[in-house]
Amino acid sequence: MIGIKLDKHKKETMNELTNYLKPKYVYFKIDGNNELLIKENDKVKMGEKIIKTKFDSFIHSSVSGKFIGIEEHIDYKNNKAKFIKIENDFKETNCFNEIPKKLTKDEFVNLLKDSGIVGLGGAGFPTYIKYDTDQVKTLIINGVECEPYITSDHITLFNKAKEIIKALNTIDKIYNLDEIFIAIKTGNPNLKEKIIPLISKYPKIKLVELPNLYPMGWEKSLVRCIKHTDYKKLPIEKNIIVSNASTIYSIFEALVGIPLIEKVITVSGNAVNKPTNIRIKVGTMFNDLLDTFKGYSEEDVVLISGGPMMGEAIESDEFIIPNNLNSVVVLKNTKVLDPITCLRCGKCADHCPVKICPVLVKDNIKDIDELKRLDVNRCIECGICSFVCPSKINLREYLKQAKKKVK
Amino acid sequence: MKFNVLKGPFFKSKNSTHRIMLNLFIALLPIILFSFYKNGIVVYQNNKTDIFGMFYPLLFTLTGIVSSFLTETLYTYIFLKKRGTELKKSILNSFSIFPGLFVSLFLPLNTPIEILIFACVVAIIIGKMLYGGFGHNVFNPALIGVLFALTCYGSIINQNGGYINKYELDTIGSATPLTNYKLVEGIGTYDTVVKPFGSLGDFFIGNIPGGPGEVCSFLIILAFIYLVFTKVIKWKIPVIYVGTVFIMTTIIGSINGVGLWYPTFSILSGGLLFGAVFMATDPVTSPTTSVGQIIYALFLGILTVTFRYLTSAPEGVLTSILTMNMFVMILDRIGSSSKPSIKKIALPLLIGLTIMTTMSIHIGNKFKHPNGTDPNFKLIKKTKDYYMVSQKGNGGPIKAKIYIKDNQITKIEILENNETENYFKLVKEAKYTKTLIKNQDNLDNIDTISGATISSTALKKMIIHVKEDMSK
């Protein structure tokens, strides 16, 4: 089995959940690819469709209030972008719909599209596209969360286990599945005890515990470990859908009429005073949460949107939290060691989960034909090569470059 | 508040190149100390050397380390024109002590010190710096230095005593197990191959003559375990390399009807274990992909056996590793393609295994001979007055005309030889043929000539065979 052991740092936030559901303003990114459905000074209701995305899905206002203008902010990838700004009137007038109890597959797919459900594992890919199929036999619920610090899936799975299982049951009725796996990590007895009695009524739902390795939460390793099979591009080739646990919870909410307007994010790391999970409105500015996690314990930090392995450093804490971000990790700034000459030890190649040889990618970074031969597009940017490199060479950066070059 | 924008991942493993090199040094330390014990303390205890001679093995290694460090530092200063912190950084990150350290563990302890220093200079400059320094060299720098010293100054080193320390000279004689092995008949017997040096246990604990670093198999195996445990070396290479040699010599041995002691002797003698654990695994000059490593190690084994049996050199480890160093890039190319591992490795593995078996069978049959005859001895002509014979020496057959009268040898006339001139000169100078004639009824007790062991032994054997024939 491929993977590495990382320090988990999960204890700090495993049982912590607070709410921050009354932001003064919320912000939603607009760019050339999506269509704005409201005009400036329009009043909006909570749950109202305000943006149509390029995938024909929607973004909903997470508060009720007024669209007061367009501002420039940084997004969670540290890029400047335009955001619409909605001022909260705190009235919480909503426009949630009644959803019929029984749904056909097409109605269900449309519901996912209308509710703006996206993969909450981080990719943010519209979920309705995944579910628009007749092939699915197996559903895998990803509750593995292999990145250090992050516990938002855990806390959702723990607190909302009943709701998630209810949603799974509904999905099963629509698709008539063969089996459903809820994948969690080993060494999480509380969660296990919580889930087992709840699934006892549903013979199709099984709980699987997977080893504590990174990147276990990657779809391919999940499928490999649970179903012992491999696919080329998408799990549906083997009649499998993999969905994140938090995504299933947002499907539950969609089934009762609430679109994706709230989510849980983990704020943790060795430079925050009170690491915690926070339930927030989508579109909240991260800076607003300062009081909730009691500020930073250090002056000189690295603020990472996402986990420490795959996340991105952000230049300011005034960035907007989108619907697909599940954690912010703030770490003390430790001095980065200068890379030295590659020793050619091959540890990067040994540990690569997609069997690329990163050192050769680095050597041949200018040779596009060679990069094609090395098939760099398989790279999932998990960062293990950079992690294990004894010479401290950031190989992932070379791979990112290489991927751009062969495109 | 300062938010630093750095590139992830923000977790880094604690392992570092410096830690890897430190572990490598730790693994070598017992081996260095063993050489000090065997070639220094034991010799001193037996009153064969003075206090300086006792510490000489340590001094030898230290000289290697210092000269390779100084060479690289001076090179960096003069030719790469690095100064100040840049020079410091370059010294800290280039691990320049290792080529010299390995040279000193590989070369015979009796190598004149100036040759050792010269070998280290060659290792660093030709083996490493001309390629661009640490991480860029194609060949293993230490082996380049050793090869240079042995080919250019081999005879001087041998005259100086070669691998044998002063205590061993008295107790064991003047040959290492592999030079002795070159002289035995066919593939030898336990009595001729192992017994002169004690038992296989002596091989295991290093109680045999040989290079300072290479004799103690036990410590090398311990070092291997340590290095694998600390993830410094690629375990596949030594295991497959030594395994291949073991399997091939098992086949060769079984064709000739000898037991498992034979392959065991083959892997415990010479620099095989030391080379497999420390030299073949040098990260810079071995493949990075695991498919590459498997093929690399397999061919190392095949080459080592081939060199040992089919060339005049007693040892094949050094040349095999340097040869395979050239193919690392190609092997990594095979290993890095996006095909599944099985498909990548199938063809080269098939070729390798085929060569491995055919080569073993070929060697096994070549050395097979009817009991009691020496395949290295040829009776060309026999008359009433003389024998025309040839006996394989170091460089090929030595042809001689041996005059007899009244069942006694009266004169030995060497007609042709391809022996290395410097060595054969020693035989001539010692008037060895005269000694042989004088002691022709008591040949077993004649010593061979140190520094020209193979040539003198060949002559001795030749006379023994002639005497045997005469007594028929």
Confidence of residue B437 (pLDDT cuts 50, 70, 90): confident
Helix axes A245-255 and A105-114, enclosed angle (nearest 10): 100
Residues of B in contact with A312 (CB under 8 A): 8
Average pLDDT, chain B: 89
Residue-level pLDDT at A148? 94
Q: Does A1 touch chain B (CB under 8 A)?
A: no
Q: Does A315 touch chain B (CB under 8 A)?
A: yes
Task: Verify whether the Cβ–Cβ distance B290 to A396 is below 8 Å.
Answer: no
Q: Does B343 touch chain A (CB under 8 A)?
A: no
Is the complex ipTM higher than 0.90? no
pLDDT 10s digits, A3-26: 899 998 999 899 899 999 999 999
Instruction: Tell me the H-state helices in B176-216.
Output: 177-183, 190-193, 200-205
Residues of B in contact with A148 (CB under 8 A): 11
Residues of A in contact with B293 (CB under 8 A): 346
In this structure, the strands spanning A327-332 and B2-3 are: unpaired
Residues of B in contact with A332 (CB under 8 A): none
Task: Verify whether the Cβ–Cβ distance B10 to A373 is below 8 Å.
Answer: no
Shortest CA distance from B329: residue in chain A:
A360
- Nearest CA-CA distance, residue B70 and chain A, Å: 20
Residue-level pLDDT at B114? 95
Task: Verify whether the Cβ–Cβ distance A302 to B10 is below 8 Å.
Answer: yes
Task: Verify whether the Cβ–Cβ distance A390 to B20 is below 8 Å.
Answer: yes
Task: Verify whether the Cβ–Cβ distance A346 to B290 is below 8 Å.
Answer: yes
Q: Collect all residues with Cβ–Cβ distance below 8 Å to B248 and sequence separation of at least 6.
A: B301, B302, B305, B356, B359, B360, B363
Residues of A in contact with B136 (CB under 8 A): 341
Strand ordering across the sheet containing A205-210: A205-210, A179-185, A138-142, A240-244
Length of chain B: 472
What distance separates the 2 farthest-apart alpha carbons in chain B?
108
Listed by number, the residues of chain A in 66-85 with a beta carbon closer than 8 Å to a beta carbon of chain B are 78
pLDDT 10s digits, A71-121: 999 999 999 999 999 999 999 999 898 888 889 999 999 999 999 999 887
Task: Verify whether the Cβ–Cβ distance A314 to B5 is below 8 Å.
Answer: yes
Q: Does B105 touch chain A (CB under 8 A)?
A: no
In the predicted structure, residue A223 carries a pLDDT above the cut 90: yes
Shortest CA distance from B94: residue in chain A:
A341
| Distance in angstroms (rounded) separating the CA atoms of residues A174 and A110 | 13
In the predicted structure, residue B164 carries a pLDDT above the cut 90: no
Mean pLDDT calculated for residue range B55-61: 95
Q: Does B4 touch chain A (CB under 8 A)?
A: yes
Residue-level pLDDT at B427? 80
- Nearest CA-CA distance, residue A207 and chain B, Å: 30
pLDDT 10s digits, A28-47: 999 888 899 999 999 999 99
Residue-level pLDDT at B371? 54
Task: Pick the more confident residue, A158 or A338.
Answer: A158
How many other C-beta atoms lie within 10 A of the C-beta of residue B373? 11
Q: Does A364 touch chain B (CB under 8 A)?
A: no
Domains of chain B: 15-172 (no CATH), 174-208+233-369 (no CATH), 377-471 (3.90.1010)
Residue-level pLDDT at A251? 95
Q: Collect all residues with Cβ–Cβ distance below 8 Å to B381 and sequence separation of at least 6.
A: B387, B388
What helix, strand, coil percent values describe chain A, rounded to 5? 30, 25, 45
How would DSSP label each residue in B66-86? HHHHHHHHHHHHHTS---HHH
Q: Indicate the residue type of B46.
A: N
In this structure, the strands spanning A205-210 and A179-185 are: parallel
Of these ranges, A188-192, A228-232, B102-106, B435-439, the one predicted with the greatest mean pLDDT is B102-106
| Distance in angstroms (rounded) separating the CA atoms of residues A215 and A198 | 28
In the predicted structure, residue B372 carries a pLDDT above the cut 60: no
To test the contact with chain A by mutation, choose from B2, B336, B345 the residue with the greatest count of A C-beta atoms within 10 A, namely B336
In the predicted structure, residue A216 carries a pLDDT above the cut 70: yes
CATH 3.40.50.11540 fits A105-255, yes or no: yes
- Nearest CA-CA distance, residue B340 and chain A, Å: 9
> Could you tell me if residue A194 is left (phi over 0), alpha (psi between -120 and 50 degrees) or otherwise beta?
alpha
Q: Does A388 touch chain B (CB under 8 A)?
A: yes
To test the contact with chain A by mutation, choose from B2, B4, B11, B93 the residue with the greatest count of A C-beta atoms within 10 A, namely B11
Residue-level pLDDT at A121? 77
Shortest CA distance from A78: residue in chain B:
B5
pLDDT 10s digits, B304-344: 999 998 887 778 899 999 999 999 999 999 988 877 778 88
In the predicted structure, residue B85 carries a pLDDT above the cut 80: yes
Mean pLDDT calculated for residue range B430-447: 81
To test the contact with chain A by mutation, choose from B2, B12, B86, B343 the residue with the greatest count of A C-beta atoms within 10 A, namely B12
Mean pLDDT calculated for residue range B290-296: 93
CB of B415 closer than 8 Å to CB of B400: yes
Task: Verify whether the Cβ–Cβ distance B3 to A316 is below 8 Å.
Answer: yes
Task: Verify whether the Cβ–Cβ distance B234 to A386 is below 8 Å.
Answer: no
Task: Verify whether the Cβ–Cβ distance B10 to A310 is below 8 Å.
Answer: no
Measured in degrees and rounded to the nearest 5, phi and psi for residue A172 equal: -60, -40
Q: Which long-range contacts (CB under 8 A, 24 or more apart) does A216-219 make?
A: A216/A3, A216/A144, A216/A146, A216/A185, A217/A121, A217/A142, A217/A144, A217/A145, A217/A146, A217/A147, A218/A146, A218/A353, A218/A380, A218/A382, A219/A142
Q: Does A393 touch chain B (CB under 8 A)?
A: no
Q: Does A98 touch chain B (CB under 8 A)?
A: no
Q: Does A394 touch chain B (CB under 8 A)?
A: yes
Give residue limits of the domains in chain A. 11-96+259-332, 105-255, 347-406
Q: How many CB pairs under 8 A join A and B?
A: 139
- Nearest CA-CA distance, residue B332 and chain A, Å: 9
DSSP character for B447? P
Mean pLDDT calculated for residue range A272-279: 96
CB of A322 closer than 8 Å to CB of A75: yes
Q: Indicate the residue type of B135.
A: G
pLDDT 10s digits, A349-371: 989 998 899 999 999 999 999 99
In the predicted structure, residue A1 carries a pLDDT above the cut 70: no
Listed by number, the residues of chain A in 332-351 with a beta carbon closer than 8 Å to a beta carbon of chain B are 333, 336-337, 340-347, 349-350
Angle at alpha carbon of residue A121, lines to A119 and A124, rounded to 5°: 40
Mean pLDDT calculated for residue range A156-163: 94
- Nearest CA-CA distance, residue B80 and chain A, Å: 16
Q: Collect all residues with Cβ–Cβ distance below 8 Å to B444 and sequence separation of at least 6.
A: none
To test the contact with chain B by mutation, choose from A299, A334, A341, A392 the residue with the greatest count of B C-beta atoms within 10 A, namely A341
Shortest CA distance from A331: residue in chain B:
B10
